[in-house]
């Protein structure tokens, strides 16, 4: 097993024979062994798969029911050496009734029988010809040599992993308005298993996929759905074995229709707990009415396993992976940024904005957003003043691109060299210009901000900030320099996304504007505060603070899910496999935490800016952190990674 709250699950559609319980038990056992060999610790099998879902009136036969009980007993014995929780569909007679159940068993012990539910006011029970709905309250039964609970109120808690609390639904339980899974999740279940037999018709697979995704999102859980497949009777129906593994609204794995397989994925149950803690409207209910059964996976449970995760971890969590999704996301974000600025301009009755343009990505995005906001307001683009303020590190390439960009957008362009003013300031404070320290750099940033603010005062406009989310996380901004503005349009945009937004505009517009944007995209990220070398940029930000793609990855999982350094590190190893070494990732992760904690004071007094995603650092509601919080616990955890 894998640590960090991940839990490996499998959805299996074994080949069966209708009414041949012995054959079906052997087939299920072989599939369970394969799932265990793939590292799964929970495996879900289809509804009534020990007999076949399509037995019809044979379910009334005592011979079939006894055969199913005997087969289940044998299956429990055959899988006793596997560190695997199995959920297998079986018909169970009890107290003069017959129940459609999921038998949950592990390490040679039958734990309980989750019964299919009848939802009040939802019409007749679907299988009333043969089965009764789950008894309420649940009952105790003797079955397959075990005394166990039967009902729809069962929770199964894994002793080795507190995050793993399992509940079970059966087929149509997923499709109704108020599912048993809703009650189970509200009582603490983080993992729901569904033994299903959903026949295939045109269009149903898409709906089924949507149901699993929506269900897992609504209940903040992981959801494993196993569908009946090969061997079920085709008298009137066909079954495709459409298996799905979902987590909080996302389908992690999906089988091909009519292609039997052991579908495996790692679900993040730790993330589910964080989501519930973070979502204050999430409310635990009905815990008193639930029956909780503890179970153990035994010695075979590899809690500290190092095998690769069976799930895709994107190195760019802020960026949609599909090109069509990326385009839609870029258009929406640009619109949200522009709408935020538009609203602020309308409220303040401002018809002019001032933007410091460097020829870099952040100021380019801010200028593009301002142009869009002015169009939405019906204001002339001449109301945008793009100001280039060349200093000691400005290169001809960036200065030229800044001017070209402003011209292509129809904005006014102004150049205000700051070298003489900064040198005068150095003389005033007694600083040697040959000393290229933080004072040398920050004096330029603060001089530029003063110029922008004063120009805005002259025109009755406002300064639009250019700094992005990644810079705020690392504190890579000069306090009361580029750190400050009157409205910060990029404040919730991480650096990795800034690049995609600019590229999106370039591709959509083309022409001369597109050409300028492409050259800006090819320019190294730099504050240009140190003199160039032979006309080229000498100060590259990522050489100093580290690769932004790594920092954005760290930032996403720190803010979005509250993950610890160890879990983020191990996820990064997989996400950036082949791109960065273990030592490199650990080095920059340590720097990220050190800077993130030490630079909070800069984030405690940020200007307003539009929130466009779930991760942002606004001190007014999204991220409230003391400026003097200690990083000791996080650094201690990081230090232990050196020895692993």
Structure tokens at 30: 């072989």
Q: Nearest 5°: phi and psi at 301? A: -80, 110
Which member of 55, 106, 164, 171 is catalytic? 171
Which member of 47, 127, 163, 169 is catalytic? 47
Q: Nearest 5°: phi and psi at 150? A: -130, 130
Contact 224, 242 (CB under 8 A): no
Contacts of 142 (CB under 8 A, 6+ apart): none
Contact 388, 415 (CB under 8 A): yes
Contact 27, 16 (CB under 8 A): yes
Which member of 69, 86, 116, 172 is catalytic? 116
CA–CA gap between residue 299 and residue 215 (Å, rounded): 33
How wide is the angle at C-alpha 533 spanned by C-alphas 544 and 513, nearest 5°? 80
Contact 252, 246 (CB under 8 A): yes
Dihedral sign, CA of 312, 315, 320, 324? negative
116 among known catalytic residues: yes
Dihedral sign, CA of 22, 28, 34, 35? negative
Closest-CA residue to 9 (of 249, 314, 311)? 311
Contacts of 591 (CB under 8 A, 6+ apart): 545, 546
Strand 462-465, strand 487-488: pairing: parallel
232 among known catalytic residues: no
How wide is the angle at C-alpha 563 spanned by C-alphas 562 and 569, nearest 5°? 145
- Is the peptide bond prior to 225 cis by the omega test (within 30 degrees of 0)? no
DSSP-assigned letter for residue 607: P
101 among known catalytic residues: no
As annotated, the active-site residues are 47, 116, 171
């Amino acid at each position: 097993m894998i640590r960090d709250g991940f839990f490996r699950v499998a959805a299996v559609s074994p080949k069966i024979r209708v009414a041949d319980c012995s054959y079906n038990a052997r087939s299920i056992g072989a599939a369970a062994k394969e799932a265990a060999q793939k590292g799964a610790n929970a495996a879900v099998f289809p509804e009534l798969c020990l007999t076949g879902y399509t037995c019809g009136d044979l379910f009334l036969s005592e011979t079939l029911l006894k055969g199913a009980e005997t087969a289940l007993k044998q299956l429990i014995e055959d899988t006793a050496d596997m560190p695997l929780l199995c959920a297998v569909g079986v018909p169970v007679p009890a107290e003069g009734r017959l129940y459609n159940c999921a038998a949950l068993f592990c390490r040679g012990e039958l734990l309980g029988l989750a019964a299919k539910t009848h939802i009040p006011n939802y019409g007749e029970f679907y299988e009333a010809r043969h089965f009764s709905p789950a008894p309420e309250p649940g009952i105790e039964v003797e079955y397959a040599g075990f005394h166990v609970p039967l009902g729809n109120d069962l929770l199964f808690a894994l002793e080795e992993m507190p995050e793993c609390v399992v509940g079970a639904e059966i087929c149509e339980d997923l499709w109704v308005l108020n599912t048993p899974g809703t009650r189970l999740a509200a009582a603490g279940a983080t993992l729901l298993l569904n033994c299903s037999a959903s026949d295939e018709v045109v269009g149903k697979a898409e709906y089924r996929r949507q149901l699993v995704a929506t269900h897992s999102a609504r209940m903040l859980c992981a959801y494993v759905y196993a569908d009946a497949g090969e061997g079920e009777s085709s008298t009137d129906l066909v079954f495709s074995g459409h298996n799905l593994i979902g987590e909080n609204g996302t389908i992690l794995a999906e089988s091909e229709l009519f292609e039997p397989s052991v579908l495996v994925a790692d679900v993040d149950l730790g993330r589910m707990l964080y989501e519930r803690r973070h979502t204050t409207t999430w409310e635990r209910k009905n815990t008193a009415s639930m029956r909780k059964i503890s179970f153990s996976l035994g010695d075979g449970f590899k809690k500290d396993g190092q095998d690769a995760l069976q799930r895709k971890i994107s190195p760019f969590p802020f960026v949609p992976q599909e090109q069509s999704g990326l385009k839609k996301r870029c258009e929406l974000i640009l619109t949200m940024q522009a709408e935020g600025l538009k609203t602020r301009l309308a409220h303040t009755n401002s018809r002019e904005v001032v933007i410091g343009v460097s020829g870099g990505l952040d100021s380019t995005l801010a200028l593009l957003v301002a142009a869009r906001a002015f169009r939405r307001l019906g204001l002339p683009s001449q109301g945008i003043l793009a100001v280039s303020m060349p200093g000691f590190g400005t290169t001809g390439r960036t200065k030229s691109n800044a001017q070209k960009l402003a011209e292509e957008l129809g904005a006014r362009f102004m150049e205000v060299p700051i070298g003489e003013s900064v040198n005068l300031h150095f003389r005033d404070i007694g600083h040697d210009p040959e000393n290229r320290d933080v004072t040398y750099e920050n004096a330029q940033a603060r001089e530029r901000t003063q110029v922008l603010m004063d120009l805005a005062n002259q025109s009755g406009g406002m300064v639009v900030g250019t700094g992005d989310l990644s810079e705020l996380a690392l504190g890579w901004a000069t306090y009361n320099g580029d750190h400050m503005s009157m409205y910060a349009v990029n404040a919730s945009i991480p650096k990795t996304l800034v690049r995609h937004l600019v590229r999106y505009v370039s591709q959509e517009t083309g022409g001369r504007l597109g050409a300028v944007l492409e050259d800006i995209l090819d320019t190294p990220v730099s504050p240009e505060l140190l003199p160039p070398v032979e006309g080229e940029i000498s100060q590259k930000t990522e050489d100093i603070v580290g690769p932004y793609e790594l920092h954005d990855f760290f930032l996403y999982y720190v803010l979005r899910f509250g993950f610890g350094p160890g879990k983020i590190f191990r996820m990064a190893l997989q996400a950036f496999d082949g791109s960065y070494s273990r030592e490199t990732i650990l080095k920059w992760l340590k720097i990220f935490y050190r800077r993130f904690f030490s630079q909070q004071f800069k984030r405690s007094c940020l200007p307003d800016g539009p929130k466009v995603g779930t991760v942002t650092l606004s001190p007014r509601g999204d991220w409230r952190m003391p400026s003097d919080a200690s990083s000791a616990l996080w650094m201690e955890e990081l230090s232990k990674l050196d020895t692993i």
